[in-house]
Every structure is written in structure tokens, then in C-alpha cells.
Structure 1
Amino acid sequence: MVVWTSAWLHGAAASDDVLDALQIWGESQEVRAADDELAAQLELPGPQDVPAGPAMLLAALRRAGAAGGELALPVSGDVRGLGGASAFAKQALRRGEAAVLPDVGLGLVPETIAEGILRWSVHSTGELPPAEHLPIGEAEHGMSSAMREAASTLVDLDIAKHRPGVREEIAETVADRPSPPWPQTVPQRPLRILQRASEVEAILWVATDDAPGGALSASATRARTEALKPLFDSVRAARRASVAEMVRVVAESADKH
């Protein structure tokens, strides 16, 4: 949503391309404003109204003067990109992801409400602090370093046990994640980093999923969680940096034309 909407707002993608790209996450997409005041302001359905389609959302963002988006991936203890306490921050934290359009003070939170149906809730974010800039090279290096450190720590703790079929589990987890299309002007480096982040995340989920009969003690589980937390954080940072880089390149490419 962040990359395709930014591309469309800069004239680097057609609206049909945006709508087609979103369908990989839900064949049916619907949109509602989070409150009646915002609904009236954006000319979108309110929380009690029949939802609209995503085309109406794109039109509303254009009318509002949006220029581009940012990705937020909040978790407990790290809610960067959400501002202070708000209905938007609460829903984004519960979902773990949001698209933020800071120049117009709007946030979009996706939620799967039934199989094949994805609903976008549009919130007012209020004034947000400037987004933290993390160079994409630094994010990539951080993820690689965190992975080495986590592996070393788990070995030292003697909880990095051999697990039959682990490679197959990881490959299956990666394969199950949809591979969305991207605008033509998106550079390859952030795409490679996003793919790597998906692979590392798959390793993380397998590492934290205890095999039957192999559950760890409470102290070992805590040690494992502490060892893996920096790696979880680095994956989120790599994703945010990759999306920010794609938005930047798409915008610059469009502006040159």
C-alpha cells in the first residue's frame, strides 16, 4: 500500500495497477473512515456505513493532498511512526503494521475481517514527529550482524539444537508469503533486502516454535527471547528502510519526468 500509493500519487503508476497489486492480500478490499468527522472530511464511508472500494480511498488521498507514504511496524515497546496515544496508534499496534501519510495526517490500518476480505481503516494521526531515517545499507548490515550475534548466543546458551526438517520448515514459511508485484521504477536492492527479511523472519518463527516434546524451560525460553529480540527488531528496521528507499526512488524518478 505504501509503495504503490506513493507511486500513484507521483504519477508513476495507474490506479488500476494499484488496485490489482493490493488484491494479493485480499481479493476484496474495502475502506472506512474511523470516525464520522473524518468520513465527512474525506468523503468516505464512516464506521457505521457500507464500506467503499479502494478506488475511493485513492481519490480521497489525492483530494487531501497526500504526496507519499511511510511504513510503520509497531510492536510493544517500539511505536515509532505512530505519534502519541490515539485510536490510530492503538489499532496499528494491535495489527502490527500501518501505512502513514504524514503530510496530510492520515494513517491506514489493514485488517482481515474474513477470508479474502481486507478492510482498510482510515484514521487521523494528528501531527507526527519526523520519520527516523535509516540508510538502507545500514539496515541491511544491521540485520546480518544481528543474525550472527543471535546464532552465536543461542549456541552459547546450548539451546540451538538440531531439528529434523528445519530447512523444509523455513522454505515452506517463506513460500507461503505472497510475492506482490512492484512498480517498474522500484530498484532491485530494497527488493532483495525485503526478500532477505522474509527469510530471516521465517527462521525466527521456526526458532521460536518449540517442536513437540522439545519445549524449553522458562529460563531457557526467556534467554532465547532476549537473544532473538535484536534480530526481530532488525527485520522490522530493514523492511521500513527498504520501503522508504522504494518510495524515495519512485518519487524522484517520477519528478524527473
Structure 2
Amino acid sequence: MSCPSITLTLWSASWLAGACSPDDVIDAIRAWAPMHLVDAADAEVALRWDLPWPDPADVGPVALLKAMRGVTAADPAAVPALTLPAAGDVRGLPVGTAFAAAALDAGQGVLVGTPGGPGIGIVPRVEGPDVLRWTVFGVPAVPRADGQPGLGEVEYTLREAVRDAADALSSMHGGFDAGGGDPRARIAEALADVSRHTTPDGTPARALRILDTADQVATILTVAGESSGRAQTATGAAARDDTLRPLWTAVRAARVAAVASCVRSHQPRT
């Protein structure tokens, strides 16, 4: 998996549905860092969900699970939802909230609740070497996932992105910085690191395929962008960013749609 928020969303949805144990979720989350600090965004959240505040504490992922269980106990229809915002693309964020600002800054976050109802938002951040900090926010109203593309659409878009990425990167001016090492070796190393993070048993095969493809595209874009960026002028770097931006948008949309489909797979059919 590409980020802690995806891991938390997938594994917590499986746990809340009774398909895995809390220890399974904790083990998956701990794969991101040996130490996990947790805190509340404010005193009200700390009091309601029994979380550390104002300073974070090394209470581990179990504190996150307790807060998530608290939300679902109050509203059995509540589920986790992934958000991967970026500048100019804030879909899935509750506008004007502290959670929205933190998630946009981090580029990721998890919402827990029923669309239209109150809930919580969780944002992970790297706090230091081998330390991940999770902050829990109160969310007055969880946004509805309006206009979210289907898996067929995102899978087609990803296939196009693979082709477009290759075309775009091969046409970039400025070439690659040889000092950065062999790009192919760096891509393989990055993909191997991503593959360490597991998904719950029973994750739909199509969703897994989409997540894997998104990881491949994202890794290629990251490594190629870093390599070419060091060798480009400011003008060339701006042109590169304009070229890659829609491809990154496609990657984020694919990840959100795939994770949402996994969460839905745990919900009772009506």
C-alpha cells in the first residue's frame, strides 16, 4: 500500500465488519513505523474519545481503533473512507474544517462516519525517524462521495495513464540526472518497499489490481520526476509538473475508488 491512510482504511473496514482481528489491524499499521503517537486535535475530541491532548502519547494504533469503534457504536452505519487531497483537488474533504486543512497538508486522511452525519477524521504525519503521528479531529458532517468514478472507469483511466506517462516522460526536456542512480533500479526498489504493506484477506481482486497499477504508475512518476527535476531548468520543471499533474490526479482517483469498493464489499447487501 502506498500510504498509512490506505492501510488504516482497508484494515479497519475489515475489522469493523468482523473479518479480521484488532491485532491484524495493529500489525498492518505498525509496518509503517515502530512508534505511533496519537493525539486529539482539541480538548473536546480528547474528552469524547478518550485521547491524549494537548501532547501526543505513544499509545499506539489501539487508540485509533477505540475511537473508530466509538463512532460506529453510536452510528452502526458509519464506515471509514479514504481521502487523498491535493492542491486543486479537494474532493472528499469537509470544507472549512481543521481536518480538511491537515489532510490537505499531509495529502491523505481517513474519515469515519455516515455521509451527512458527524464523525471523526484521522490524519497521519511523519513525526521523525521511525515515528508516525496520528491526529484525530472532530468532523461536523462527513461529506457524501458524490461523483466518484466506478472501477471500470478508473481502471481504463489508469491504463491510459500508463501509456501517457511513458510518452510524457520520454518527451521531457533536460533528461535524467545520472547522479541519482539507475531510474529502473530505483523504481524496482520503491515498488518492493510498497509491497511490504499487506491487504486484508478477501480484498476484491479487481480492487487489488487497480491499487497495484496505481502504485506502479505513482512510483514511475515519482522516480522519473525526481530524476528529471534535478536536470531541468525552472521552465522545464514547470512544464513537467503541468504534464504529470493529471496523471497524479488519475492515480489518486483510482486509489480512492478502489478502497471505497473494498469498504462497500464489507457492507450488508440490501
TM-score (norm 2): 0.83
Q: How far is 1:180 from its partner?
A: 1.9
Q: Deviation of residue 87 (structure 1)?
A: 1.6
Correspondence for 2:99 among 77, 81, 88: 88
Output the CA distance in 2 between the equivalents of 1:210 and 1:57. 37
* Matched residue, 1:124: 138
Offset at residue 126 of structure 1 (A): 1.9
Please, which of 180, 185, 194 is the counterpart of residue 177 of structure 1? 194
Change (3 A) 1:161 1:211: closer
What RMSD in Å do the two structures reach over aligned CA positions?
2.5
Tell me, yes or no, if the aligned pair for 2:71 and 2:119 is still in contact at 8 Å. Answer: no
Q: Tell me, yes or no, if structure 1 residue 47 matches structure 2 residue 64.
A: no
1:101-120 CA distances to partner (integer Å, 9 max, x unpaired)? Answer: 13242100011223222221
Which amino acid in 2 is paired with 1:166? Answer: P
Distance between the aligned counterparts of 1:199 and 1:161, measured in 2?
19
Aligned counterpart, 2:68: 61
Asked whether the 8 Å contact 1:45–1:51 carries over to 2, the reply is: no
Q: Tell me the SS of whatever aligns to 1:208.
A: helix
> Which residue, 211, 214, 218 being the options, matches 1:194?
211
Q: Deviations over 1:145-196 (max 9, x none)?
A: 1332343345556667797833222212212325222222211221122111
- Matches for 1:215-226 after TM superposition, within 5 Å: 215-226=231-242
Q: Give, in whole Å, the separation in 2 of the partners of 1:162 and 1:92.
A: 32
Native 8 Å contact 1:109 1:121 kept in 2: yes
Query: Pick from 189, 200, 206: which aligns with 2:223?
Result: 206
Unaligned ranges ≥5, structure 2:
1-7
Kept after mapping to 1: 8 A contact 2:83/2:92: yes
Which deviates the most, 137-146 or 126-135? 126-135
1:152 matched to 2:163: no
The alpha-carbon deviation at position 15 of structure 1 amounts to: 1.0
Which shows bigger deviation, 29-38 or 45-54? 45-54
Partner of 2:245: 229
1:80-123 alpha-carbon deviations (Å, 9 max, x no partner): 11121222111111111101113242100011223222221100
What 5-or-longer segments of structure 1 have no aligned partner? none
Partner residue in 1 for 2:4: none
Whole-angstrom distance in 2 between the partners of 1:49 and 1:190 = 34
Residue type of the partner of 1:137?
A: G
1:196 is paired with a residue of what secondary structure? helix
Q: Percent identity?
A: 38
Matched, 1:240 2:256: yes
TM-score (normalised: structure 1): 0.87
How many residue pairs match? The answer is 253
Q: How big is the shift at 1:47? A: 2.2
Q: CA deviation at 1:219?
A: 2.8
